[in-house]
Amino acid sequence: MSKEEIVKMLNTALELEHAARIQYLAHAEVVDGLNAEPIIARLKEIAGDEQKHEGMFRTLIGDYLGGVPSMGLAKVYPAKTVNEILKVNLEGEKEAVDFYKKITDKLKAEADKLPYEYLKLEHDVRHIIMDEQEHISELKKLMAMK
């Protein structure tokens, strides 16, 4: 796998994070009901995490691999009810974790070709995976609360 292929995968991840941030913020605007406030607050917090992930991916792509960070956007899924919002975002987090694990697997396989970049790349992607796993846990708790 070439650096260009890794950049392409990281750009896909960047586009997923960009879409997730927009989606969380949009969904926070339509939540209503008895437990709306804690759900809105958590959706906005997660959006902030996604923005941090965007920055991490941009740094990996531009500074570590010499690539050009994408300005694209993955698909955003609208939702109208709290249940739909939580379900759509839970699925998005699971898909992100699965994709990011593929990235770490590919990085491991190519570690010898990236002697100076590998540890930083793997560390940051694993950190993002852990954040996404925390989001999955939080969304499940919110689903039980609603």
| In the predicted structure, residue 36 carries a pLDDT above the cut 80 | yes
The pLDDT, as a whole number, for residue 146 is 63
Q: Alpha carbon of 45 to those of 10, 25, 51, 68, 107: distances in Å?
A: 23, 9, 10, 28, 29
The pLDDT, as a whole number, for residue 34 is 85
Q: Alpha carbon of 126 to those of 10, 20, 73, 141, 143: distances in Å?
A: 13, 18, 22, 23, 26
Our count of domains for the chain comes to 1
CA–CA dist 102, 81 (Å, integer): 32
Q: List the domain range (segments joined by +) for residue 134.
A: 3-145
| In the predicted structure, residue 97 carries a pLDDT above the cut 70 | yes
Question: What is the CATH classification number for the domain harbouring 114?
Answer: 1.20.1260.10
